[in-house]
Amino acid sequence: MKHNLLLLMLISGSMLTTSVHAQTARLQLYEVFSGENCPPCAPTNVYLHNLAVPNTEKIIMIKYQVNIPSAGPIYFQNSVDPTARRTYYGVTSAPNARHDGTTIGTGHGQNLTQAIIDQRVSTPSPFSINLSHSFNSNRDSVFITMAVTAQQAVASGTWVGHLALIEKHMSYPTPPGTNGETDFYNVVRKMYPSASGNALPGTWTSGQTETVTVAAAVPTYIRDLAEVAVVGFVQNNTTKEVAQTEISEPLPVPLYSQAIFNDNSFYRCNSAFNPVLSVENLGTTPLTTMAIRQIIGTNSQLIQWTGNLAPGATTNITLNPITLASGTSTYTFRIDSMNGVIHPSAVRSTVTGSLYFSANAVTQATNTFTGAFPPANFAVRNQSSGTNGWSQAVQGANGSQRSARINFWDIASGEINDLYLPRLNLSAVGAGNALKFYLAHAQYNASSVDRLDIEVSTDCGLNWSPLYTNSGPSLATVAPVGNAGYVPTSAADWRQESVSLDAVAGQANVLIRFRGISDYGNNLYIDEINVPASAVAVEENERDDLSVSIYPNPVRDWATIRGFNPTSGNISITLRNTLGQLISVEELGVAQGAFEFNVPTSLLSEGMYTAEVRSGQNLSVRRLVRRN
């Protein structure tokens, strides 16, 4: 049970009888104000992490998760300290940052550069810091010691010693906020005794040391005790300059392990699921027992393991088999305890994911996204959270009001989201078949390269081959839109794409997925996906001898057929469904030159049709969509 400890703080002074001390090297502090619901914070954090990794001897970056533009779950765990630091600096936007207490340019996080870091290193610090921390046996209490030594006489200042408990890496299986981030680095989880810090003397003699000691509770919301570190820094409240920084790195955890699930396949063509969990002993103590929780869908089972897993070793544990239900199932495999002790990490103890099982293959895939999303037999695997991955939009092609959208506007660069079509049986289909769909996309600017890939698998997702890839300006259907998330506003925004399926013609087990890869650009929409069971001959599909147009399209009760007959003759219209089956044939009348006929469509089922308009040897083929 967690102790109720009083926060203890002791500042003691001592005079050293040594000679004059030289100034010491400076370790810089970069305080970042970020947020899990802040879209521009995601790429900024990637930039800063990549800048920090090669500069660990020069600079320490810490993150305050703030409620800009809105509060997220990490912020709610510790809102007091980030809010206090935000108020201290007068921060009103995110991402924002302070470099050793000062603002670079506008304060935007990406204003920090390698040149600025290198320049600041050349400015020595008047202080040195010796920092250490330890835990009690239950690791629910932390003990911190920070000794600050003046390396020269310091005449004045309102000096404060700050202590921040951080998690160096917080990893989530799915984004906790709305900006797509799943990895967070050096997040401030608690400041001791508070964000106001510990008062230090205003004047110092050379060699003077002041020691701050803290004994306090470890927050219960810490995700991974093996990632806990302590950052200490000395700041002058008069000028807000941070004079020196130090870090006490994470400590080894005696009982500690990592759960690994190596089977990351999503799509399943067999309902039998036999999970195998790998466990690596990351601690210093052999593991002899483990309680492992297996949750698949609504089925929960506790598995007891016994053995002897040495430190640094890995073992594979066969869990309980289960029969998957059709559709999407979520899974969780969690090490609840080791050697009778609760696992100290909510991150390393647990793996989660989802599976999609399809019992049967269909002979066609046609959808206009007008109903539930994802549609029946379609599957979505989004790396992004909420509506940032593939989701339903209220704008569609050809005047419709629904489509599938991937929200590149808010998705961090590099994130991947997949939309799976129904499993297809194309064994009766020969060459000439094509996947057709409409797309609409705007770049954020001329250099943004959001990408759409279409991939195919004939072994139920074990291996994938490319059918189509497009990105940047060639993917876009309109000019760049940089001031807001792109929304198509007219039929001219849409372009139909046709992708040959000759590579899988005759195959009985075909998976097709639309893969969106974000460059943090702007939104992409797809609509009216169609994989017909049999192909209309290419030469026929390209014919338009009668210059036919159909409106409105989509239709409800009536369709108007307009065209021009170069010879005198009877006009007929033949409707076929996407299977190529005959629905109706109607004689419209005799015409020469321009013609217009109204065709009743109220008895048609909702869906997509091929309209063949004929007069003698003249033929036009058009697509017709019926909606309720």
In this prediction, residues 164-188 reach a mean pLDDT of 92
Most confident of 20-24, 422-426, 514-518: 514-518
DSSP string for residues in 317-353: EE---EEPPSEEEEEEEEEEEETTEE-SBTTTTEEEE
First-to-last C-alpha distance (Å) of the chain: 62
Domain residues of the chain, as ranges? 8-248, 257-357, 365-531, 538-626
Q: Is the pLDDT of residue 2 over 90?
A: no
Q: Give the pairing of strands 549-551 and 558-577.
A: antiparallel
CATH of 257-357, picked from 3.40.50.720, 2.60.40.10, 1.25.40.10, 1.20.58.220, is 2.60.40.10
Tens of pLDDT, residues 195-210: 999 999 999 999 999 9
HSE of 501 in the Cβ direction (CA atoms, 13 Å)?
32
The pLDDT-based confidence of 611 (bands split at 50, 70, 90) is confident
CATH class of 8-248: mainly beta
Determine contact, residues 626/607, Cβ cutoff 8 Å: yes
pLDDT of residue 16: 29
How many Cβ atoms sit within 10 Å of the Cβ of residue 379? 24
Could you give the percent of the chain with pLDDT greater than 70?
Answer: 93
Query: Average of pLDDT values for 594-618?
Result: 85
What is the enclosing helix (H) or strand (E) of 48?
helix 41-52
On the question of pLDDT at 38 being above 90, the answer is yes
pLDDT at 375 over 60: yes
Model pLDDT, residue 8: 37
User: Averaged over 587-604, what is the pLDDT?
Assistant: 85
Give residue 623's pLDDT: 80
Residue-wise pLDDT tens digits, 459-512: 999 999 999 999 999 999 999 999 899 999 999 999 999 999 989 988 989 999
For residue 169, the tally of other CB atoms under 10 A from its CB is 17
pLDDT at residue 616 greater than cutoff 90: no
Is-cis flag, bond preceding 552, omega within 30? yes
pLDDT of residue 539: 36
Q: Residue 597 and residue 586: Cα distance in Å, rounded?
A: 11
For 54, residues 6+ apart whose C-beta sits below 8 A from its C-beta are none
Residue 285 pLDDT more than 90?
yes
d(CA 359, CA 327) in angstroms, rounded, equals 9
List residues bridging with 185 in a β-sheet: 169
Q: In what order do the strands lie in the sheet with 276-281?
A: 257-260, 276-281, 314-318
Banded pLDDT at 149 (limits 50, 70, 90)? very high
User: Quick check: do 365-531 and 538-626 share a fold?
Assistant: no
Please name the residue that has the structure tokens 């109607």.
Answer: 586
| Residue range 292-297: mean pLDDT, rounded | 96
The percentage of the chain sitting over the pLDDT mark of 90, rounded to a whole number, equals 68
Mean pLDDT of 334-338: 97
- Interval 346-369 mean pLDDT: 89
CATH architecture of the domain with residue range 365-531: Sandwich (2.60)
Mean pLDDT of the chain: 89
pLDDT of residue 188: 98
Range 538-626 has CATH code 3.50.50.60: no
Per-residue pLDDT tens over the stretch 526-581: 999 988 765 443 333 446 788 888 888 888 888 888 888 888 888 888 888 766 66
Query: What does the alpha-carbon distance between residue 35 and residue 38 come to, in Å, rounded to a whole number?
Result: 5
Tokens of 243: 């004079």
How many Å apart are CA 431 and CA 71, to the nearest integer?
Answer: 54
Work out the average pLDDT over 273-292: 96
Do residues 597 and 554 touch, judged by C-beta distance below 8 A? no
- The DSSP annotation for 164-212 comes to EEEEEEEE-SS-SSSS---EEEEEEEEEES-TT-EE--SSB-TT-EEEE
Would you state the torsion angle of the CA atoms of residues 457, 458, 463, 465, taken in this order, to the nearest 10 degrees? -50
Quick one: pLDDT band at residue 12, thresholds 50, 70, 90?
Answer: very low
Query: pLDDT band at residue 627, thresholds of 50, 70 and 90?
Result: confident
pLDDT at 17: 25
Most confident of 20-24, 80-84, 169-173: 80-84
| Residue 627: CA count within 13 A, CB half-sphere | 18
